[in-house]
Amino acid sequence: MADSTENSGKALWGSLIKRLVLVIAAVMLLVTVGAYVGISQHEKDTLYQGKAAAARMVVSLFASSSAPAVVFGDDQALKQSISDLARNVDVIDVEVWSRSAEADDKSTLLGNFHREHVDEAGKRQAPATSAYRSSLVFQDENLLVTENLADAQGRSIGLVRVTFSLSPEKAAVAQTTRRILWISSVVALGAVLVLVMAVGRSLLQPMRELRMARELEIASNIQMAMLPKKPEHPDFEFAGKMLPADEVGGDFFDVLVSEQRLWITVGDVSGHGLGAGLIMLMVQSAFAAQFRAQPSALPNNVMSSVNELLWENITERLKENKYVTCQLLAYTNDGDFRVAGGHQFPLVFRAKTKQIETIHVAGPWLGILRSWPDAPGSEVHLEPGDVMCLYTDGSIEARNAAGELWDTPRFSDALRDALSKYESLEKAIDHVFASLFAFCPKPDDDVSLLLVRRR
């Protein structure tokens, strides 16, 4: 059911991302088309207006210069003027019409030039009387400019009609349009890719975080499941609690019992988080394997074997620079433990005096050296009713807002008060943790505590 829900969630996110990408692509396409149309139209208007102004000026000058030839009937001079105007490559057609004095609706073609067909006089339609006025008309391919011809008294004697080609302007607009379209397409594609990457990351981030949180939750559950569950031994009772600083911590403690054999381990991997949790599981599993294989082995020999395994795995394989402070306490008999390894010194609450005693245990750390040194080890003796406390440095190195440490004396006082007040080891641990949290609401390191009381 969980896998189905997770797959459905991924499919939903994937569908949303695809739809969002399509929307973004559509918007960018519209923006590109808008830019394409807008810029192209602007350039077209600019070029056409410039062409119209120049053409109007050219036609106006031509009309002024050719008017005397029309008045005096100088065909040769008129043809020369038309020929001069026709040298302009943009000029397609030139027509000069005279206006009949007897009938306003009669016009006569005096002279003309057509770039494709020189003589089209018979095919040309005479302009109506209403056409004898200045005008400028844009056609599909051409620009038609009409200008009145006037005599010295300003009377209309005819008109000039010149057709200019718009091909150069259309070619320029087409070239700019292609350039704009190419640039806009590249920009739009780049924008879509950037948005897809940005949106994809922002949408996928919750999925990654959710998956990571789930994986960390699984790892945390595995770690908590590795803690001893109400171990039983005829000589002792136990209670322990662990509080990781992250979802997964580097602390561990274990109680291994087989018939009359009893091993107690406590340790702390340098740092905390998933990497430390992985090494913690490795160490705890190594001790469990050693206990099942050789429950009567001396603690120092066991530490040597575990150290060899850790050195190979941490240094050679994982390429990590980590170490483990750890102690192994092997029960011999009559309340006596043999202790090996370097860790926080065990504290013993003496039932007769109600005082805390510190047991100084010297020993190296795991994973520092390839070869485990031959350390002498130590011994701890518990009288009936005595309680041994094994803990990690997070219990004594928590700092309050003022930067003060909840040091060993504060921890010892809280432990003594708890064990003096409560018969239950679980309630005593809760009291110690409550005192710690009152001093430092959120410790920066893992906090672990194991109490062992001799019956």
pLDDT tens-digit series, residues 320-345: 788 899 999 999 989 999 999 999 99
Give the per-residue pLDDT at 431. Answer: 95
Confidence band (pLDDT; 50, 70, 90) for 2? very low
Give the per-residue pLDDT at 31. Answer: 63
Cα angle 27-28-32, degrees, rounded to a multiple of 5: 120
Assigned token pair, 95:
């027509």
- Name the residue among 289, 303, 443 with its Cα closest to residue 365: 303
Give the per-residue pLDDT at 227. Answer: 66
Mean of pLDDT over the chain: 80
Across the range 218-230, mean pLDDT stands at: 63
CA distance linking residue 300 with residue 208, whole number of Å: 44
CA distance linking residue 376 with residue 298, whole number of Å: 11
Confidence band (pLDDT; 50, 70, 90) for 32? low
Assigned token pair, 155:
């009377």
- The answer to whether domain 2-170 and domain 226-454 are alike in fold is no
**Fold (topology level) of 226-454:** Phosphatase 2c; domain 1 (3.60.40)
Give the per-residue pLDDT at 119. Answer: 46
Assigned token pair, 180:
């704009």
Across the range 133-139, mean pLDDT stands at: 82
Cα angle 107-111-116, degrees, rounded to a multiple of 5: 115
Greater confidence, 205 or 234? 234
Out of 8-22, 90-104, 358-372, least confident range: 8-22
Domain boundaries, the chain: 2-170, 226-454
Confidence band (pLDDT; 50, 70, 90) for 131? low
Out of 103-117, 160-174, 319-333, 380-394, least confident range: 103-117
2-170 maps to which CATH number?
A: 3.30.450.20
H/E element, 198: helix 167-225
pLDDT digits (tens, 9 = 90+) for 152-170: 887 888 888 899 888 888 8
Residue with tokens 């100084």: 360
Q: Indicate the Cα dihedral angle 423, 429, 431, 432, nearest 10°.
A: 130
Give the per-residue pLDDT at 206. Answer: 60
User: Helix axis angle, 274-293 relative to 299-310, nearest 10°?
Assistant: 140
Is 123 a residue whose pLDDT tops 60? Answer: no
pTM of the shown model = 0.55
Assigned token pair, 220:
């945390």
Is 415 a residue whose pLDDT tops 90? Answer: yes
Greater confidence, 433 or 203? 433
Give the per-residue pLDDT at 122. Answer: 47
* Rounded alpha-carbon distances, angstroms, from residue 149 to 129, 152, 161, 342: 13, 10, 10, 116
- Whole-number percent of the chain with pLDDT over 90: 23
Confidence band (pLDDT; 50, 70, 90) for 1? very low
Give the per-residue pLDDT at 441. Answer: 86
Return the number of other C-beta atoms located less than 10 Å from residue 233's C-beta: 18
Across the range 116-144, mean pLDDT stands at: 67
On the 0-12 / 13-18 / 19+ scale of CB atoms within 10 A, 288 is middle
CB 286 within 8 A of CB 306: yes
